[in-house]
Amino acid sequence: MKKFCFLLIAIIALFSCSKDGSSDYLSATIPSSWETRSVSDSIFNSEHFVNPLSSSYTLPNGLIVFKEGNHYRLDDMLFPNPSNNGNASIQGVITSSDTRYWPSGIIPFKFSSDCNPLYQSTALSAMSELSDSTGVQFVLANSTTPNYIMFKTGFSNRSYVGMLGGEQEIELAFFWQKYVVMHEIMHALGVYHEHQRADRDSYIEVQYDNLYHSSWNNFAKQTTNSYDLGDFNFESIMLYASRSTDRDVVIDITEPIMLKTDGTEFPANRQYLSQGDIQAVRTIYGNPYVDLDTAIEIIRDEITATDEYYIADYEWYIRFYQDSAHTVPIINVRPLQVTLKKEIRTLGNHGDVVSTYSYQTITIPAGNSSYLLDSHRNIENYYESNATEVDFVLYSLN
């Protein structure tokens, strides 16, 4: 059974795609001097917003996305043509559509020819940190890889959310800043903006009176088909800062666009991957910590002149947690397959016990923090024949 913690770390290197297109696991090493590279605070604390274009489409959840070339866009998130793809929807902090997750947490990638070695080293550093922290794996795609990320340079930072299928772009303007790159990779893994959580109003207030109406959808809450994981995370690399200098979005750049509920401002973290970010990715691609609990309802418990009876109804539940101490419940965001080892004990006339074993596999649908695995009425007595007792142990979780 795989244990489950939360998110990613990095290895990294000056590294270009192999000429023969072979698929290798990421293993390069970035020069230490690159790790100290920094850029201005204005880049750390501002984001690129996009104004509506001429053609728009309303998603089933009411959000409006805007056509840009062959895709639709909301802020820095890209979606396939909604009319051709039923999964094109915004679904909260992480997408709840498991078809948009990368199988087995393995993400193939390529670099376009316009990505120079310095740009590639930054992306490799971001992927390495994510890989080390969360267990997802980034591998070089080859000519036969069906689904992969293509890194390319551009005039803005943007990414599809989750796995699209086929080639999907991550376009980057700030290729030299690792955690800006990581922000877009997190989108590709299936993670959305922190300030779009369904519960965000308990933590922040969006200053709509300082935003042009055309940009309001960039701050819309995701209230349906979404998974809010843990508490609101002010350290998340997926959270925008209180201030933006984008004059196409902000009415008065000297005033904030978001505040904490106590009226104070907060910065955008583009310096490190927070534990909450790590937890989000591990929730998608790892297995949770689990408990197998038993609920017992006693039907009969007595001693008579002829026998001793104990009859009880048993229910076996599996419960999911994000920590090894089993203190923080969590939902499973993708279907999980559980295999149980079942023991049936039969008590004979002379008190001898015969055990038989079997294995039972159950698929638990996504969206549960606990799930009923099985139920049985246990009958225990000493003198009557055919008394039975059933028990389960967790054998595997995938």
How far is residue 32's CA from residue 54's CA, in Å, rounded to a whole number? 46
Nearest to 236 by CA among 192, 202, 204: 192
Residue 214, judged by CB atoms within 10 A of its CB (0-12, 13-18, 19+), counts as middle
Residues 341 and 338: their CA atoms lie apart, in Å, by: 10
Distance CA(285)–CA(279), nearest Å, equals 10
Is 169 considered catalytic here? Answer: no
Burial of 234 (0-12, 13-18, 19+ CB in 10 A): middle
Sequence-ordered list of residues with C-beta below 8 angstroms from that of 396, at least 6 positions apart, any chain: 1, 338, 339
Q: Is the dihedral of CA 187, 171, 42, 220 positive or negative?
A: negative
Contact 34, 121 (CB under 8 A): yes
Spatial CB neighbours of 223, under 8 Å, sequence gap ≥ 6? 61, 198
Q: Which of 47, 169, 171, 184 is catalytic?
A: 184
Question: Comparing C-alpha atoms, which of 114, 141, 113 is closest to residue 127?
Answer: 141
Query: Where in the sequence numbering do the catalytic residues fall?
Result: 184
